[in-house]
C-alpha cells in the first residue's frame, strides 16, 4: 500500500470510527478499507463479491452507517478519496513505509483531539487489582513494554503473553484474585486465542479496553472501550509505531487519573535503582 493509498484508506476508515458493526458488516468495512483507492467506484454487487457477502448485506451496511443506501455511501466515499494526494515518485520503498507511519501518527494526533476514550479506558483500568495485560504473538512485545512501565506505578500488573489453554487459566486466576478489567492488545492477524480470551473476560464480568488497529477489528465488538491505532503494512512485517504510541498515551492517562501519588512511586523506584547501580546513566 503506497502513501496515497494509506491516506485514502485512512479517510475511508474514518467513516466507521465509533460504529457498532456486526461481523458481516466488519467484513464489508475491511474490504472497503483494503480497496480504498477504488472503493468509490465499486458497485454494491462488486463490494459484496470482494467481502464474500450478499448484496443486501451491503445495503444494510450503508444504512447502519446512517446513509439512505449504498449509492449515498458511495458518494461519500468519492468525496473522501478523490482528493487524496498522490505519492511523490522520489521516495524509495523504505521511505514510503516510514512516511506512511507519519501519516498514521498524524491521524492518531487528530483522534486524540478528543481524549475522552483514553480517559474512559484509564478509569476502567486503574481500579483493577491485579491488572491483566493481554498480548500474544505479534502483540506480545507491546504488552511486555506496556507492562514494564505500568508496573513501576501500578501494583499487580500481569502480562498475559502466552497462548493456548494456559492463557485462559491465567485469566481465571486474575479474575479470582480480584481483577475487574483487562487491557487487550490485539493486532493483525488477530490471533484466535486473543479474541477468545477477550470473550472469556467479558463473560467473567471484566471490563475490556482494546488497543487494536481499527474500529472494525474483530475484537472491537467485545470491548468496552476501543483505542484504534493503525498498523503499518508496507514492509515484510508490520510496523507497530501507532499502537505503541497509543499504549503510552493510555499509560499517561492512567497516571493522570491515578488516585495514589504516581510521583512518589517513581521516586521510590529511582532511589532503589541508584542504590543498586542498575543504570549507567
Each residue of 71-99: pLDDT tens digit?
Answer: 989 988 888 776 555 555 577 888 888 98
What is the average pLDDT score of the chain? 89
All three cell numbers of 206: 471484566
Contacts of 122 (CB under 8 A, 6+ apart): 250, 253, 254, 256, 257
Q: What is the mean pLDDT of residues 39-59?
A: 91
Q: What is the pLDDT of residues 105-120, one digit of tens each?
A: 988 998 999 999 999 9
Single out the residue of 111, 30, 98, 96 nearest to residue 241, CA to CA: 98
- What 226-229 contacts at long range (C-beta under 8 Å, 24+ apart), as own/partner pairs, is 226/117, 227/117, 227/118, 227/121, 228/17, 228/111, 229/104, 229/108
The answer to whether 183 touches 125, Cβ cutoff 8 Å, is yes
Query: Which 3 state secondary structure label does DSSP give 134?
Result: strand
Strands (DSSP E) along the chain, which ranges? 131-134, 157-160, 181-186, 207-212, 225-228
pLDDT higher at 142 or 29? 142
Query: pLDDT band for position 100 (50/70/90)?
Result: confident
Query: pLDDT band for position 278 (50/70/90)?
Result: very high
The answer to whether 80 touches 11, Cβ cutoff 8 Å, is yes
Whether residue 269 is predicted with pLDDT greater than 80 in this model: the reply is yes
Lowest mean pLDDT among 17-26, 33-42, 138-147, 238-247: 17-26
Lowest mean pLDDT among 65-79, 129-143, 151-165, 216-230: 65-79
Query: Which 3 state secondary structure label does DSSP give 165?
Result: helix
Q: What is the mean pLDDT of residues 131-158?
A: 96
Q: What is the mean pLDDT of residues 4-24?
A: 76
Q: What is the pLDDT of residues 191-237, one digit of tens each?
A: 999 999 999 999 999 999 999 998 888 899 899 999 999 998 888 89
* % residues pLDDT > 90 (the chain): 57
Helices (H) and strands (E) in the chain, counts: 13, 5
Amino acid at each position: 500500500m503506497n502513501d496515497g493509498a494509506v491516506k485514502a484508506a485512512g479517510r475511508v476508515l474514518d467513516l466507521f470510527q465509533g460504529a457498532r458493526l456486526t461481523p458481516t458488516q466488519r467484513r464489508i468495512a475491511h474490504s472497503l478499507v483494503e480497496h480504498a483507492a477504488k472503493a468509490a467506484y465499486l458497485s454494491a454487487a462488486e463490494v459484496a463479491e470482494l467481502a464474500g457477502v450478499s448484496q443486501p448485506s451491503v445495503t444494510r451496511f450503508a444504512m447502519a452507517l446512517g446513509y439512505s443506501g449504498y449509492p449515498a455511501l458511495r458518494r461519500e466515499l468519492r468525496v473522501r478519496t478523490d482528493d487524496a494526494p498522490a505519492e511523490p515518485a522520489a521516495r524509495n520503498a523504505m521511505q514510503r513505509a516510514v512516511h506512511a507511519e507519519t501519516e498514521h501518527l498524524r491521524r492518531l494526533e487528530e483522534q486524540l483531539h478528543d481524549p475522552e476514550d483514553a480517559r474512559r479506558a484509564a478509569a476502567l483500568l486503574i481500579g483493577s487489582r491485579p491488572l491483566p495485560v493481554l498480548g500474544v504473538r505479534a502483540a506480545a512485545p507491546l504488552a511486555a513494554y506496556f507492562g514494564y512501565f505500568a508496573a513501576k506505578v501500578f501494583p499487580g500488573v500481569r502480562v498475559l503473553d502466552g497462548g493456548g489453554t494456559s492463557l485462559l487459566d491465567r485469566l481465571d486466576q486474575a479474575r479470582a484474585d480480584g481483577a475487574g478489567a483487562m487491557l487487550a492488545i490485539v493486532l493483525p492477524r488477530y490471533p484466535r486465542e486473543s479474541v477468545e480470551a477477550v470473550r472469556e473476560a467479558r463473560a467473567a464480568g471484566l471490563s475490556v479496553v482494546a488497543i487494536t488497529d481499527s474500529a472494525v477489528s474483530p475484537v472491537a465488538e467485545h470491548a468496552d472501550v476501543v483505542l484504534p491505532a493503525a498498523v503499518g503494512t508496507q514492509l515484510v512485517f508490520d510496523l507497530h509505531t501507532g499502537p505503541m504510541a497509543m499504549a503510552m498515551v493510555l499509560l499517561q492517562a492512567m497516571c493522570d487519573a491515578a488516585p495514589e501519588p504516581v510521583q512518589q512511586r517513581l521516586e521510590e523506584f529511582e532511589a532503589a535503582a541508584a542504590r543498586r547501580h542498575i543504570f549507567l546513566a
